[in-house]
Amino acid sequence: MKRRTFMAALAATAMLQVGVSGAALADDAKPLDGQHLSVLLPPWGTFPKEMTDQFTAETGVMLDSQTLGWDEIHTKIVTSMIANTAPASATEVDWSWVGQFGAAGWYGALNDDFSKETIADVPTSKIFNYNGSLLALPYNNDFRVLIYNKTQLEKAGIKQAPKTPDALLAAAKAIKEAKIADYPIGLPLSATEGTSTAWYLLTKAFGGDLFDKDFKPLFLDPKSGGYKALSFEIQALKDGLIDPSSTGLKDVDVQELFKSGKVTFDVAGWAGNLSVYADPSKSQVADDVSAALMPSTTGKTRTIGLPEAIGIPVSAENKDAAKAFIKWMLKPETQINSYNSLGNLPPRLSVLKQLEEDGKLNDGKVLLAQAASVEPLFADGTPGWYPEFSSAVSAAINQAAKGQVSVEDALQQIADAAQSASQQ
């Protein structure tokens, strides 16, 4: 394996960098030997067997992995915790669930279980703080970047990646007219979270924000970034630049279309997915993929950070085994394996920088530059009513994409939903 030497070097320092209750598990001592640990994660967080076998070899803990879609995981957690039953001993905790889960008291604090140095090396961990309690630790460094098929652009005579939304539309039209791709723009338009986050991202691209400091909607004015963003999506759909079937597609489905070469632009591309797209064993466009800074109308690129993490429900069994799993997940070699196999960009800053220095990060200069522009979606933290709001966003966009409501009416629905959710 070409990264073996690099990974071994990182492994040598891992025991100094990561601590559970102030100390790492010794190789010759397995106090958790024979325990079973249930873990609930989405497909992009479910480690392949060769990785989980390594976890078992190191700790003696047998892993029982459950894999569900992002939306299904949220539903299962909420249903289980209302019934005072943990859905698993370690679960997905998305950035968008922190307010809801924290207010409900569903997840235990991890502040005292990991060293301050480790937590500081994961800058996005602060997104998972609720009233001073660290509810989860990130396993990926998810932010959005424009991913595109450079070969298809070249065939259409386009010399550089688009830097503005208008240039993106023009490039897509040229590619379609040249019959290089039937539907060049990849965007989900189903009633799912990926549809909502794509609109949030495009709102930034058009120079806007969702709310002011008092959570007053900023997307109802036709001149606003949010209004222009949704208009962009619907017009691209009407112009045949987005596949009509996108009204039933999730973000992971769009990723499959990109890997097959059927779309040119993964507009809301996960930064870590570059490693998957560039892997010939997983992608048909491995030699064609490239990344660029998110287009912008202002000349300054903007993007959003949407990290995902692992936390431990307060009613979970085998909490020590769950902490050991999170500790293992934070090890540099685990993060590199996860990046190589699943496209999860390492959340540890030290690992990310080392990958770039060693030339192991696809389009590393673009990713590090885009990472520097990452903004939280909510400056003062994700509110507890976000899940209800996000569901209303994706439902309204899906209706607009199906021609059931106008852009104006869809955005009014979203504004009404925000007001209703925030008052509950």
Tell me, letter by letter, the H, E, C secondary structure of the chain: CCCHHHHHHHHHHHHHHCCECCECCCCCCCCCCCCEEEEEECHHHCCCHHHHHHHHHHHCCEEEEEECCHHHHHHHHHHHHHCCCCCCCEEEEEHHHHHHHHHHCCECCCHHHECHHHHHCCHHHHHHEECCEECEEECCCCEEEEEEEHHHHHHCCCCCCCCCHHHHHHHHHHHHHCCCCCCCEECCCCCCHHHHHHHHHHHHHCCCCCECCCCCECCCCCCCHHHHHHHHHHHHHHCCCECHHHHHCCHHHHHHHHHCCCCCEEEEEECCHHHHHCCCCCCCCCCCEEEECCCCCCCCCCEEECCEEEECECCCCCHHHHHHHHHHHCCHHHHHHHHHHHCCCCCCHHHHHHHHHCCCCCCHHHHHHHHCCEECCCCCCCCCCHHHHHHHHHHHHHHHHCCCCCHHHHHHHHHHHHHHHHCC
pLDDT tens-digit map of 360-385:
888 988 988 888 888 888 877 788 89
- What pLDDT sits at residue 272? 83
- What pLDDT sits at residue 29? 63
- What pLDDT sits at residue 324? 97
Tell me the C-alpha distance between 87 and 110, whole Å: 19
User: How many residues can be counted in the chain?
Assistant: 424
Query: Which range has the worst mean pLDDT, 147-151, 222-226, 342-346?
Result: 342-346
Tell me the C-alpha distance between 397 and 405, whole Å: 9
pLDDT tens-digit map of 255-314:
999 999 999 999 999 888 898 899 999 999 999 999 999 999 999 999 998 899 999 999
Tell me: pLDDT of 20 over 80.
no
CATH 3.40.50.300 fits 144-304+385-422, yes or no: no
pLDDT tens-digit map of 26-49:
445 688 898 999 999 999 888 899
Mean pLDDT value across residues 107-113 = 96
pTM of the model: 0.78
Tell me the C-alpha distance between 283 and 285, whole Å: 5
Query: Matching CATH topology for 4-142+307-375 and 144-304+385-422?
Result: yes
Tell me: pLDDT of 134 over 80.
yes
| Of the candidates 46, 383, 401, the residue with the CA atom closest to the CA atom of residue 192 | 401
Burial of 336 (0-12, 13-18, 19+ CB in 10 A): buried
CATH 3.20.20.140 fits 4-142+307-375, yes or no: no
Provide the pLDDT confidence category of residue 21 given band limits of 50, 70 and 90: very low
> For all residues of the chain together, what is the average pLDDT?
90
Tell me: pLDDT of 1 over 70.
no
pLDDT tens-digit map of 199-242:
999 999 999 999 998 899 999 999 999 999 999 999 999 999 99
pLDDT tens-digit map of 160-206:
999 999 999 999 999 999 999 999 999 999 999 999 999 999 999 99
All structural domains of the chain with their residue ranges? 4-142+307-375, 144-304+385-422
Tell me: pLDDT of 18 over 70.
no
- What pLDDT sits at residue 142? 84
